[in-house]
Amino acid sequence: MPFYKPAKSRLVKGRKQRKLPADDIKNLKPSLLTLLGACMSIVGGLGRVLNFIDKIIEKIKDS
């Protein structure tokens, strides 16, 4: 019996730990999606800026 009780408490702890991450993931999904969207928009903005700089460099080279 003394060996059985600690195992039981460990199981309860494991269940609690398993439940929490699932809830956190559910709560995080929208924020993760918004983060992904923000990263994509930042990357897109960087691409536009780089294209703009390339155009300016080409104009300078042509002139």
pLDDT in tens, the chain (63 residues): 444 455 555 555 555 555 555 555 566 666 777 777 777 888 888 888 889 999 999 999 887
Separation of alpha carbons 40 and 32, rounded Å: 12
Rounded to an integer, what is the distance from CA 36 to the centroid of its chain? 7
pTM greater than 0.75: no
Separation of alpha carbons 53 and 49, rounded Å: 6
Separation of alpha carbons 6 and 19, rounded Å: 20
Rounded to an integer, what is the distance from CA 47 to the centroid of its chain? 21
Taking every pair of Cα atoms in the chain, the longest distance, rounded to a whole number of angstroms, is 89
